[in-house]
Amino acid sequence: MKDNMRTLIFAGVLGLICALVLAGVSQLTAPYRQANERAEEVRNYLSALGVPGWQGVSSSELLKVFEQNIRVDQQGKRTVYEYIPSSLSQAKPIAVAVPFSGTGLWGPIRGVLALEPDFTTIRGIRFFDQQETPGLGGEIGAKWFQDQFVGKRIVSAGGDPGFRITKPGGSTQINSVDGITGATMTSERVQVILDNLAKELLKEKSSHVQ
C-alpha cells in the first residue's frame, strides 16, 4: 500500500515536472516557430510569383515585402493572391497565385501555383509542407522539378484543362512535366492534385467571364 502510494506520487511528480518543462520550452519558442512557419509560406508565395527582394531577408522584412506587393482577393470560395508591384501605380495584377493542397504518398502536400494573368500559363510553382520520401518524392520540393513548370500551361494544346506528370523524359505536351525517377507514387498524386486544380480553375474562370 505504501509502495503503491509512493509509485503514484513519483509518477505524478515526474509527469508534472516534464509537463512544466515542455510547456515552458513551447512558450519560449512559440514566437520563433510561428514566425518561421508564416515566413515559410510567404516565401513560397513570393518566389512562385517571381516577386523580387525575398531572398536572404529576415522573417519580418519578408512579411513587409509580402504586404507591399501582394493583394489578397477572395473570388468565390477561392483565395487568390494578386501580385501588384508596389513600384507601379497600376491596379491590374501582373500575376496571380492560388494555394492548393492534396494527398501525397506519406502525408498532405500543400503548395502554391502562380499563373500569368491569363490564368492558364504557369509562372511558378512551389510545394511546401510535404513529407514525401527524402531524395525521391521529396524532390518535388527541389528547384529542378519546380523549374520545369515555368512556361507550361494548365490547358492542353487542344484546349482541354488538365495537367500531366509523365514518366521521366517523356514530357512532350505543353501541359505536362517529367516525373521523378523512383517516385512514381508521389508523381501520380501530384498529378491528381494539379489536374483537379487546373480543371477547377478553368471552370471558375469561364463562370467569371460570363
* Amino acid letter, residue 182: G
Q: Beta strands 108-115 and 95-103: pairing type?
A: antiparallel
* 82 or 132: CB nearest other proteins: 132
Q: Any contact of residue 25 with other proteins (CB under 8 A)? A: yes
Q: Any contact of residue 52 with other proteins (CB under 8 A)? A: no
In the block, which residue shows the cell 521529396? 138
Q: Any contact of residue 63 with other proteins (CB under 8 A)? A: no
Q: Any contact of residue 16 with other proteins (CB under 8 A)? A: no
Binds other proteins by CB under 8 A, chosen from 75, 101, 103, 131: 131
d(CA 8, CA 194): 54
C-alpha cell at 141: 520540393
Candidate ranges 19-27, 74-82, 112-120, 151-159; the one touching other proteins (CB under 8 A): 19-27
Chain CA centroid to CA 143, Å? 14
Candidate ranges 71-79, 92-100, 128-136, 164-172; the one touching other proteins (CB under 8 A): 128-136
User: 28-62 b/e with 16+ CB inside 10 Å = b?
Assistant: eeeeeeeeeeebebbbbbbbbbebeebeeeebeeb
Q: Any contact of residue 33 with other proteins (CB under 8 A)? A: yes
Helix axis angle, 59-69 to 2-49, nearest 10°: 50
Binds other proteins by CB under 8 A, chosen from 160, 181, 188, 203: 181
Q: Any contact of residue 29 with other proteins (CB under 8 A)? A: yes
Binds other proteins by CB under 8 A, chosen from 36, 86, 103, 206: 36
- Burial (CB < 10 A; 0-12, 13-18, 19+), residue 174, is middle
* 3 or 88: CB nearest other proteins: 3
Q: Any contact of residue 10 with other proteins (CB under 8 A)? A: yes
Rule CB under 8 A: which residues touch other proteins? Answer: 3, 6-7, 10-11, 14-15, 18, 21-22, 25-26, 29, 32-33, 36, 40, 131, 133-136, 181-182
